[in-house]
A and B are shown apart, each in its own frame.
Chain A
Amino acid sequence: MSAETTTKNVPESGIDPARPGRTATGRRRDRARDTWAGWLFSAPGLLLLGLFMIAPFLMAAYFSFTNQRLISPLPTRFVGLDNYTSVLGSSSFWQAFGNNVTFVLVVVPVQTAFALWLAVLVNTKIRGRVIYRTIYFLPVVTVIAAASVVWTLLYNPRGLVNAVMETVTFGAFAPDWLGSTTWALPAIIVTSIWQGVGFQMVILLAALQDVPDQLYEAAEIDGATRWQQFRNVTVPGIRNGLIFVVTVTTILSFRLFDQVWIMPQTPGGPLGSTRTMMLELVETGFGQQQIGAASAIAVTFFVIVLLITIGQRRFVREEGEAS
């Protein structure tokens, strides 16, 4: 094995991370060994990713140009852009798209700001901060299906949410949340934020703890107020954490499905006011078994998410990947 060569050429400490003093032979031997080990280590993961992500992705692209059905005696044939024109021409798709956009535009900023606030709160040296942090995180550890059912009951016209609303507004405001075309989506938004914000909080908390204390001390000496410290020290210090949170929250928000399937009386209801692209996809592909049309929705969906992700990256111009 190349270990002998390696030994000879490594400086006595043998622990210099920069690996100086290697001869060309040593490096080449290392490289050969790394190559087989690299592929050996990667093989299982790559095989599974290829089979269950890359292959289906290519299939979706292919199916979207055919009239493929789940089970059908008729042969599959090419239909060109028919699936795309019918998807993009249907009002229910645009309604779903609009709902998705509304959901994202509300959830991403609100949830990120809320998560940051929570992270700042639990990052203080206040007594019991671990308990607070655990409690804020608990909803993340609930199953979405369970949380959705509990909230459905809370949103009942005669439920707890309305009991509170009636007290606060003296009976002026107590809608049938999930039965109303106006309030169903906001109700689902609140549930989603309740469920998801703790996760973002933990990520931002980890980022906050990496901001060196000296920076705050320096800012304090310069006479910066707390708000100025937050603006000029904290926010730049956790920039990458914030970018990660915004990107992930955006992608997850576009994938909204479980809540709109479980919470309204009928999935996506009332009158499509909580219909999302994922619901559209499941109803077409699974409900009506039209694989071709559903694939067109999937591809459209992927392109939208891709464009948004690229757009966000461009916009923030992330500074170099880790190391």
Chain B
Amino acid sequence: MSATTTRRLGGGHLLQHAVMIVLAAFFLFPLVYMLASSLKEDGAVLAGSDSFDAMLPTPWVGTENYGDAVTRASFGRVFLNSVIISSVIVGLGLVVNSLLGYALARLRFTGRGFLVAVVISLIIIPFEALAVPLLFMSAELGILDTYQVQILPFIANPLFVYLFYTFFLNVPVSLEEAARVDGAGPVRIFWSVVAPLARPAYATMAILGFLFSWGQFLWPVMVTRGVDVRPLPLGIGTFKTTPPVQWGDIMAYAAMMTLPLLVIFLIFQRYFVQGVASSGVKG
């Protein structure tokens, strides 16, 4: 074994595996519990939760809870709402934020230094601090209870602009120079040279952006009333307000809300890790 590997592995292989498996159990058990509970009788969820039975889907009721959750919380509707809202935010966000990040990193125009400072200071403004005036603005504009009010404020995001900005700073200029020499204008250069290079940054923003928007809770609570435009996370409230509490249904709903994200993440995981590694996020 080489010196490097010895250092990396340290003494106990087995010990490290043991530690890492215990940690894995800590991160996984609530998710397993959620899935197991979603597949068992409502009454058995709480009754069986003081033993190892909690982790087993018995007594098994198949997808009955899922069916109930779908009808009780108008799952189809709110799911569609979430898909529409999140995809529009992420889709437009990818374009808008990368263009701004690129301009700030690469194009030498007057006022650029100032804009960089503005974007960086915007990162620390928490959305919550803006929620109240935004609520007022939306009420004045008469767009409460619409998709627009849930989409527009989130397309441009200073954190993502910064992510692209630092990513583009670290990309060598040589390719762009070559394209310039060939007579390509800024738009062509961006479209056919820069954007394809930035795939990891786009993947990172897509995943993070999807995570943020899919989980949105505070803002939709404030600006939506009916089920027509409400996103998924708010649906979970439906179960708490109408007793008796059907834990199986709630767990089924929670599982259905989480699964799409898990699938997307597992598919794009590789790009995501690459993106974090190549962007300035890590400092």
Contact = CB atoms under 8 A, between A and B. Distances in A.
Same complex for A and B? Answer: yes
A222 interface: no
Given A38-B112, A56-B133, A163-B51, A15 B178 contact: yes
Contacts of A1: 183, 185
Nearest to B218: A257
Given A60-B133, A121-B16, A153-B49, A145 B236 contact: yes
Given A70-B139, A150-B30, A244 B130 contact: no
Interface string B146-175: 000000111110100100001001101111
B174 A243 contact: no
A263 B56 CA distance: 24
B126 A251 contact: yes
A25 B27 CA distance: 61
B54 A160 contact: yes
Contacts of A48: 96, 152, 155-156
A202 to B, nearest CB: 5
Interface string A125-152: 1100000101111111111111101110
Given A53-B122, A60-B132, A207 B283 contact: yes
B265 to A, nearest CB: 5
Contacts of A216: 4, 7
Of listed B3, B128, B177, residue having the most chain A CB within 10 A: B128
A30 interface: yes
B166 A213 contact: no
A230 B177 CA distance: 41
A80 interface: no
A220 B3 contact: yes
The secondary-structure label for the interface of chain B is helix
A65 interface: no
A135 to B, nearest CB: 5
Contact of B190 (A7, A10, A41, A57): A41
Interface string A290-323: 0100110011011001100100000000000011
A42 interface: yes
Interface residues of B, number: 116
Contacts of B158: 49, 53
Contacts of A273: none
A291 B139 CA distance: 12
Interface in B1-17: 3-5, 7-10, 13, 16-17
Contacts of A49: 119, 122, 156, 158
B10 to A, nearest CB: 7
Contacts of B186: 33-34, 37, 41
A124 B9 contact: yes
A154 interface: yes
Interface string A106-130: 0000000000001001111110000
B128 A301 contact: yes
A144 B27 contact: no
Given A3-B181, A17-B177, A244 B282 contact: yes
The secondary-structure label for the interface of chain A is helix
Contact of A143 (B129, B250, B258, B281): B258
A143 B261 contact: yes
A137 to B, nearest CB: 8
Contacts of A17: 172-174, 177
Interface in B234-283: 234, 236, 247, 250-251, 253-255, 257-258, 261-262, 265-266, 269, 272-273, 276-277, 280-283
B100 A41 contact: yes
A94 interface: no
B17 A126 contact: yes
Contacts of B253: 146
Interface string B183-225: 1111100100000000000000000000100110110011000
Nearest to B172: A17
Contacts of A59: 133, 136-137
A206 B214 CA distance: 25
Given A6-B180, A286-B135, A258 B217 contact: yes
Contact of A156 (B46, B166, B217, B265): B46
A53 B130 contact: yes
Contacts of B103: 37-39, 41-42
Contacts of A31: 108-109
A278 B29 CA distance: 30
A295 B132 contact: yes
Of listed A46, A55, A295, residue having the most chain B CB within 10 A: A46
A153 B37 contact: yes
Interface in A20-43: 30-31, 33-39, 41-42
Contacts of A139: 27, 30-31
B13 A126 contact: yes
16 contacts: A3-B184, A37-B187, A38-B112, A41-B100, A42-B103, A51-B152, A124-B16, A132-B20, A134-B269, A138-B262, A145-B217, A153-B251, A159-B46, A226-B10, A251-B124, A294-B132
Interface of B: 3-5, 7-10, 13, 16-17, 19-20, 23-24, 26-31, 33-34, 37, 45-46, 49-51, 54, 95-97, 99-100, 102-104, 107-110, 112, 115, 119, 122, 124-126, 128-137, 139, 152-156, 158, 161, 166, 169-170, 172-175, 177-178, 180-187, 190, 211, 214-215, 217-218, 221-222, 232-234, 236, 247, 250-251, 253-255, 257-258, 261-262, 265-266, 269, 272-273, 276-277, 280-283
Sort A-B residue pairs by CB-CB distance and give the 5 closest, nearest first: A240-B283, A38-B109, A45-B100, A48-B156, A37-B186
